[in-house]
Amino acid sequence: MTRNTTDGKAPAVDAVTCAGLRYSFGETNAVDGLDLSVRDGEVFGLLGPNGAGKTTAIRCMTTLLPVPAGMVRVFGHDATRERMAVRRLLGYVPQQLSADAGLTGRENVALFARVFDVSRNERARRVDQALAAVDLTAAADRLAKTYSGGMVRRLELAQALVSAPRLLILDEPTIGLDPIARTNVWEHINAVRAATGMTVLVTTHYMDEADQYCDRVALMHRGRVRALGTPEELRSGLAQRLGTEGPLPTLEDVFRDVAGSGLDDQSGDFRDVRSTRRTASRVG
């Protein structure tokens, strides 16, 4: 989707557009008619309970999964017909660990530079830049298995940044990190954004992060977007509907309102799952 401009310039192309996206694993409709636009330059949060379809949708956007029905575009490039063009535009930090514990930080980032086609004569400089951007210069020549959970997540961020993406996609970048490490990851993301104007699409189960760092959020449930807006719009929208006096509802209240009974039929609370997947224990 594009937006009209009033100043006579060409309309801005959205960073991501999904229309009617569907993806099924057998009988499970993981993504079930997803409509979504991420604007150029914004930080967009894709929220939703376990199993909502966030990772599956992201994997379609990154071309790691095909688009069996519907349409996905990244800066106007079709994810089915122009896969290489799409891949060149994005950096991706997957939900699962993507760093190799047996390599040093620098070797991990260099590997991504090769895979993402960073030209040979620029590689060393870009690897250094990416490591510096996440504050890992001093630890660059240590094996990744000696890193703390926060350092591992920052290393994965460097891997995704080394190709200087216009769109950075992060699937739960702060899961299992302590509050200081979480803030630290966001500070690094925001510094790169400020310098480059990069668009960020992020999933998180931490509502406070979504509230603080995202320009807009979409609440996804059972494969579709159920609510969309700025955190402020969503909170005041719920307040109006509830019509009660008192403090503004939190984004967590909005989340519970949207996901409703759907949260109860998940096996276990999403907090439990979260705590079993601590980043710190994933390496080594």
Which chain residues interact with Mg ion by CB under 5 A? 54-55, 95
Contact between 55 and ligand ATP per CB under 6 A: yes
The binder of ligand ATP chosen from 1, 19, 32, 50 (CB under 6 A)? 50
Contact between 25 and ligand ATP per CB under 6 A: yes
Residue 65: which of 53, 50, 49 has the closest Cα? 53
The binder of ligand ATP chosen from 37, 56, 108, 279 (CB under 6 A)? 56
Q: What is the largest CA-CA distance in the chain?
A: 62
The binder of ligand ATP chosen from 15, 18, 21, 30 (CB under 6 A)? 30
Count of residues engaged in binding ligand ATP, rule: CB under 6 A: 12
Give the integer Cα–Cα distance in Å for 102 and 160: 19
Query: What 3-state class would DSSP assign to 129?
Result: helix
170: how many CB neighbours lie within 10 A of its CB? 25
Residue 270 beta carbon to ligand ATP: minimum distance, rounded to whole angstroms: 7
Residue 48 beta carbon to Mg ion: minimum distance, rounded to whole angstroms: 9
Residue 138 beta carbon to ligand ATP: minimum distance, rounded to whole angstroms: 33
Task: Please list, in sequence order, all residues whose beta carbon lies within 8 angstroms of the beta carbon of residue 154, skipping any fewer than 6 positions away.
Answer: 134, 135, 136, 184, 185, 188
Residue 271: which of 148, 176, 201 has the closest Cα? 176
Residue 249 beta carbon to Mg ion: minimum distance, rounded to whole angstroms: 25
Q: What is the binding site for ligand ATP (CB under 6 A)?
A: 25, 28, 30, 48, 50-56, 95
